[in-house]
């Protein structure tokens, strides 16, 4: 077994994250003191590099089985490795640091396909997942040790390989008296539930359903490609929710499943958005965006009320990710959960945008120390395991 030769009490790492929104790569430079659930984390610098339109379009093709091909998969694996390496280098430069001061890099990679359940009758399609952004390319370009490709280890012991952030949520947000729901709203919405004074085995975590993914797709289509997201939820605020359509959307089978469960672009990606747009074609654009925004808010609130509150005290819902900037979405969520406080990670001192990249630094640190960093209660894995693979510079 690999043993990390490191006697520092404080290490410095770069966490890299690119999510299902396909919007870019985030790089968080963090200091980690201690280890495991007692880790103390400090964000030193955050850098984000947006994908250009051509790359975003190509990645969307790659996530579509009808348009993807092995040449694209092969090439983009290396290309994204270069892009992630550049993001790490740029973050270090902006922070006024040198790469020699970085102990390791931890990269989530870019998810292009996530299949938590095997396809019935297809022996060559077991439960599996694929994240691109070659670790060796990142290591060689930066000169740093790189940890990444976390999901497969959890799936190898019977888990769904998602969600991965509960480990970090527990480190960052557990409270001695308050029950908290950590709700990330990226492309997909995912939550981690922390009972008061939570321990690892008490966590509940799962994907609530679409986050920004459906909203963003509709905004892009309805703006003729001029916009990629609804800034602050302004467009949604101008519209009226189609309540009939909303109730139809909420009947999707995914929302009836019990945790552990995870989803992605396979269920709520381009095909889903196109079908929704066709069903709502008689509506004004603002009404369509308002309905999609209400859809995300209701799926989060329903998950909290039906799947979490019967099992756990909930005092706060803490939102992070791109959705934390959507004022209309946050307002809807608060109105649907009036008995709890809805706030953001930034309001509690953890950057909404940097949170997931920061957590991947924590996951990488645990991997290097040989400590389990999955949460079986969240993923459905049969046992705790060490997630992550290593690439040396």
Compute the distance between CA of residue 222 and CA of residue 233 in angstroms, rounded to an integer: 15
10-18 and 24-33 beta bridge pairing:
antiparallel
Q: Has 12 been labeled as part of a binding site?
A: no
Q: Has 21 been labeled as part of a binding site?
A: yes
Q: How many angstroms separate the Cα of 63 from the Cα of each of 7, 32, 101? A: 42, 34, 36
- The answer to whether residues 299 and 267 touch, using CB atoms and an 8 Å cutoff, is no
10-18 and 128-132 beta bridge pairing:
unpaired
List, in sequence order, every residue forming a beta bridge with 25; answer none if it has no partner.
49
Compute the distance between CA of residue 278 and CA of residue 275 in angstroms, rounded to an integer: 5
The size of the chain, in residues, is 393
Q: Give the three-class secondary structure for 12.
A: strand
Q: Give the three-class secondary structure for 313.
A: coil
**pLDDT per residue as tens digits for the range 188-228:** 999 999 999 998 889 989 999 999 999 999 999 999 999 99
- The answer to whether residues 363 and 35 touch, using CB atoms and an 8 Å cutoff, is no
Helices 166-173, 355-368: inter-axial angle, 10-degree rounding: 100
Element (H, E) at 151: helix 151-156
Q: Has 26 been labeled as part of a binding site?
A: yes
316-320 and 180-185 beta bridge pairing:
parallel
Compute the distance between CA of residue 172 and CA of residue 195 in angstroms, rounded to an integer: 14
CATH 3.30.420.40 in the chain, residue ranges:
10-161+354-391, 166-348
Q: Has 73 been labeled as part of a binding site?
A: no
Compute the distance between CA of residue 233 and CA of residue 268 in angstroms, rounded to an integer: 20
For residue 158 the two structure tokens come to: 């019977």
Give, for all 393 residues of the chain, the pLDDT tens digit. 677 878 888 999 999 999 777 889 999 999 999 988 889 999 999 999 999 999 999 998 998 888 999 999 999 999 999 999 999 999 999 999 999 999 999 999 999 998 988 999 999 999 999 999 999 999 999 999 999 999 999 999 999 998 899 999 999 999 999 999 999 998 999 999 999 999 888 998 999 999 999 999 999 999 999 999 999 999 999 999 999 999 999 999 999 999 888 888 889 988 899 999 999 999 999 999 999 999 999 999 999 999 999 999 999 999 998 899 999 999 999 999 999 999 999 999 999 889 999 999 999 999 999 999 999 988 999 999 999 999 999
CATH (residue range 10-161+354-391): 3.30.420.40
Q: Has 129 been labeled as part of a binding site?
A: no
Q: Has 364 been labeled as part of a binding site?
A: no
- The answer to whether residues 324 and 330 touch, using CB atoms and an 8 Å cutoff, is yes
For residue 369 the two structure tokens come to: 């120390």
Compute the distance between CA of residue 384 and CA of residue 157 in angstroms, rounded to an integer: 9
CATH (residue range 166-348): 3.30.420.40
For residue 334 the two structure tokens come to: 């608060």
Element (H, E) at 276: helix 270-279
Q: Residue 104, Cα to own-chain centre: how many angstroms?
A: 21
Among left, alpha and beta (phi > 0; psi -120 to 50; other), residue 247 is alpha
**pLDDT per residue as tens digits for the range 163-192:** 899 999 999 999 999 999 999 998 999 999
């Amino acid at each position: 077994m690999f043993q990390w030769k490191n006697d520092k009490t404080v290490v410095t790492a770069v966490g890299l994250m690119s999510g299902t929104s396909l919007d870019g790569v985030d790089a968080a430079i963090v200091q980690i003191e201690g280890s495991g659930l007692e880790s103390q984390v400090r964000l030193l610098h955050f850098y984000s590099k947006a994908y250009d339109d051509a790359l975003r379009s190509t990645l969307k093709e790659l996530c579509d089985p009808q348009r993807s091909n092995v040449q694209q998969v092969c090439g983009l694996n290396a290309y994204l490795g270069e892009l992630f390496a550049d993001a790490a280098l740029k973050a270090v430069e902006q922070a006024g640091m040198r790469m020699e001061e970085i102990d390791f890099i931890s990269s989530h990679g870019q998810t292009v396909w996530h299949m938590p359940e095997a396809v019935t009758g297809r022996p060559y399609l077991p439960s599996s997942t694929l994240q691109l952004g070659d670790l060796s390319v990142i290591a060689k370009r930066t000169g740093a040790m790189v940890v990444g490709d976390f999901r497969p280890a959890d799936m190898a012991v019977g888990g769904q390989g998602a969600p991965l952030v509960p480990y970090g949520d527990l480190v960052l947000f557990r409270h001695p008296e308050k029950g908290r729901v950590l709700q990330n709203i990226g492309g997909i919405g995912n939550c981690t539930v922390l009972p008061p004074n939570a321990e690892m085995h008490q966590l509940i975590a799962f994907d609530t359903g679409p986050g920004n993914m459906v909203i963003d797709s509709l905004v892009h289509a309805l703006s003729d490609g001029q916009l990629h997201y609804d800034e602050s939820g302004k467009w949604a605020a101008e519209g009226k929710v189609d309540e009939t359509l909303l109730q139809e959307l909420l009947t999707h089978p995914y929302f009836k499943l019990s945790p552990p469960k995870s989803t992605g672009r396979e269920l709520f990606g381009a095909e889903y958005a196109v079908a929704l747009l066709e069903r709502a074609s008689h509506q004004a654009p603002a009404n369509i965006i308002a309905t999609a925004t209400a859809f995300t808010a209701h799926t989060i609130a329903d998950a909290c009320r039906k799947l979490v509150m019967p099992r756990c005290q909930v005092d706060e819902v803490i939102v992070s990710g791109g959705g934390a900037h959507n004022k209309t979405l946050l307002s809807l969520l608060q109105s649907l959960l009036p008995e709890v406080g809805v706030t953001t990670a930034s309001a509690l001192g953890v950057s909404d945008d940097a949170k997931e990249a920061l957590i991947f630094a924590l996951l990488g640190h645990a991997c290097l120390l040989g400590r389990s960093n999955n949460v079986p209660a969240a993923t459905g894995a049969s046992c705790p395991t060490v997630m992550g693979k290593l690439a040396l510079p």
